[in-house]
Amino acid sequence: MELYGLTIHELQDRLRAGETTSAEITASVFGRIDAVEKEVRSYITLMRETAMIEAQAADVKIRKGDIGILTGIPIALKDLLCTKGVLTTCGSRILQNFIPPYDATVVEKLREAGAVFTGKTNMDEFAMGSSTETSFFGVTRNPWDLERIPGGSSGGSAAAVAADECIASIGSDTGGSIRQPAALCGVVGMKPTYGRVSRFGLIAFASSLDQIGPFTKDVEDCAIMMNVLAGYDPKESTSVPEDVPDYRQFLNKGIGGWTVGIPKEYFIDGIDPEVEAAVRRAIRVVEEAGAKCIEISLPHTEYCLAVYYIVAPAEACSNLARYDGVKYGFRSEEGRDLMEMYKKTRAAGFGAEVKRRIMIGTYALSSGYYDAYYKKASQVRALIKRDFDEAFTRCDVILTPTTPTPAFKVGERTDDPMQMYLSDIFTISTNLAGVPGISVPCGFTTAGLPVGVQFLAGHFQEGRLIQFASAYEKQAHIEQRRPKL
Ligand code: GLN
């Protein structure tokens, strides 16, 4: 196995034993990028030169015995995390030339842990989408089938891990943007509890829903990444001062006697039969591992999509008001006065999906409609959260499919927003309730496309999710295939 194909923990073992260097690992990853990036197109910006410098600095540290959690490990960042001095576009023309003057807190934390940054990954514009097709910088392809989408909005981060163009990566998840692409690319992806990871320096989409989390090749690497990412940040008012456990302590512990809730509302018409079969196999696997599965109900599930598509656009339209061409980003040169400059900048700077969300959000918040839409949606959201609180009095974790179908073809859903929105039918409720979720590979379709299973737990129970996912991964023996690129 080439170095680029290994996990964080395997590479750390080799680095500690002096069997390889970060410079070798980083060169191996960039060699892989050179070989496959033309086809996959995971990245908007590559950081090759600084990565090589960071790798050499890591090697000096390692020789001194000063090894941090991620020292010398190549990590990719979704292009909505501010990186000091490095282009940060959010997949949008309106930020096509934006170079932030500061690092996001998670970038700082990764840097302190010793990570080597490979680059900034492609994404749906402003994280609005499920396929990475709305990016101003072109479409990312699914490494398992280049005619298909990698999922979204963090499609570049998921594809980069699946194609071995980095060892792990960071994404963000507002309605499924980590878990859905993780499932479609056959990697592990976690959305932590709302408040668990600081969003300082994350370009906001919908502030009451956005969370940052990792993409990794296995559950152990997810625990390692969460050890770096989680924690209170005085710069971020919604981050919670809750203790962060060592997530590695939850690995390899077993789940004998656990109760697993299977929500009946998540096995619906329209779910692909091969996806359903793979998830039903996952249910048997956790039973073999000693867990007891019970049917539960999350009765307000049918309203999740409607609530999300009021709350998220409403918050987005206010977050996106700041892009007016004045202080940073793209500016249209055509305006004759200030008002016209604003209008032309926004008309040319935002793509169709972003404009659609701004219009929906503006409508939902407008006077006379606020009570009927935003307020109503917030009330139903409280009921959705209550469904989860009640469910977790009966079970330790919930198990569902991550997505209703495997990866679809590029272009297949671009003209049908409703079909696109349905891609997130099983992931959106988690964000509305604020609870954590993880998607783990659970098999392949006959066409060789990966399928993911989703596990959910109560607020701040990421450790429980890692314990469950680790036990599942061990018991399931999912075939260790790699995409043929
Ligand atoms: N696909 C969903 C949307 O378009 C979720 C995106 C996300 O989680 N960022 O809003």
Q: What is the pLDDT along the chain (485 residues), one digit of tens a residue?
A: 899 999 999 999 999 999 999 999 999 999 999 999 999 999 999 999 999 999 999 999 999 999 999 999 999 999 999 999 999 999 999 999 999 999 999 999 999 999 999 999 999 999 999 999 999 999 999 999 999 999 999 999 999 999 999 999 999 999 999 999 999 999 999 999 999 999 999 999 999 999 999 999 999 999 999 999 999 999 999 999 999 999 999 999 999 999 999 999 999 888 999 999 999 999 999 999 999 999 999 999 999 999 999 999 999 999 999 999 998 899 999 999 999 999 999 999 999 999 999 999 999 999 899 999 999 999 999 999 999 999 999 999 999 999 999 999 999 999 998 889 988 999 999 999 999 999 999 999 999 999 999 999 999 999 999 999 999 999 999 888 999 99
Q: Are 120 and 83 in contact (CB under 8 A)?
A: yes
How much distance in Å is there from the Cα of 362 to the middle of ligand 1? 18
- Which ligand 1 atom minimizes the distance to the CA of 174? 8
| Residue 237 sits in the same domain as residue 114 | yes
Q: Are residues 351 and 227 in the same domain?
A: no
Residue 323 within any structural domain of the chain? yes
Q: Hey, whose CA ends up nearest to atom 10 of ligand 1?
A: 128
Residue 453 forms part of a structural domain? no
Distance from residue 200's CA to the centre of ligand 1 (Å): 19
Query: CATH number for the domain including 150?
Result: 3.90.1300.10
Asked whether residue 245 falls in the same domain as residue 334, the answer is: no
Confidence (pLDDT) at 480 = 83
Structural domains in the chain (count): 2
Best residue among 90, 154, 174 to mutate for probing ligand 1's pocket (most ligand atoms within 8 Å of CB) is 174
CA distances to 69, 86, 115 from 112, rounded to whole Å, are: 9, 18, 7
CA distance 143 to 150: 7
- For a pocket test of ligand 1, which of 123, 130, 205, 319 has the largest count of ligand atoms closer than 8 A to its C-beta? 130
- Residue 217, domain extent: 3-250
CA distance from start to end of the chain? 15
**Closest approach atom of ligand 1 to CA 205:** 9
Q: Which of 352, 378, 404 is the last residue of a domain?
A: 378
- Domain check: are 219 and 310 in the same one? no
Active site residues: 78, 153, 177
DSSP assigned state of 148: B
Residue 393 within any structural domain of the chain: no
Pocket of ligand 1 (CB under 6 A): 127-130, 153, 173-177, 205, 312, 424
Answer yes or no: is 263 within a domain.
no
Instruction: Measure 129 CA to ligand 1 centroid, in angstroms.
Output: 5
Q: How many residues does the chain have?
A: 485
Cα 208-210-214 angle, rounded to 5 deg: 150
Q: Which atom of ligand 1 is nearest to the CA of 421?
A: 1
Q: Which of 363, 378, 393 delimits the end of a domain?
A: 378
Give the Å distance between the CA of 131 and the centre of ligand 1: 9
Asked, as a colleague might, if the bond just before 153 is cis with ω within 30 of 0, I would say yes
The upper half-sphere exposure of residue 6, i.e. CA atoms within 13 Å in the direction of its Cβ, equals 19
Could you tell me which residues are beta bridge partners of residue 216? Answer: 188
Q: Are residues 231 and 306 in the same domain?
A: no
Protein residue whose Cα sits closest to atom 5 of ligand 1: 175
Q: How far is the CA of 175 from the centre of ligand 1 (A)?
A: 5
Looking at the domain assignment, is residue 30 inside a domain? yes
Same domain, 371 and 235: no
Atom of ligand 1 nearest to the CA of 423: 1
245 and 307 together in one domain: no
Q: How far is CA 440 from CA 179, 279, 388, in A?
A: 8, 11, 21
Task: Please check whether residue 321 lies inside any domain of the structure.
Answer: yes
With b meaning 16 or more CB within 10 Å and e meaning fewer, what string describes 294-319? eebebebbebbbebbbbbbbbbbbbb
Residue 424 included in any domain: no
Co-location of 10 and 114 in the same domain: yes
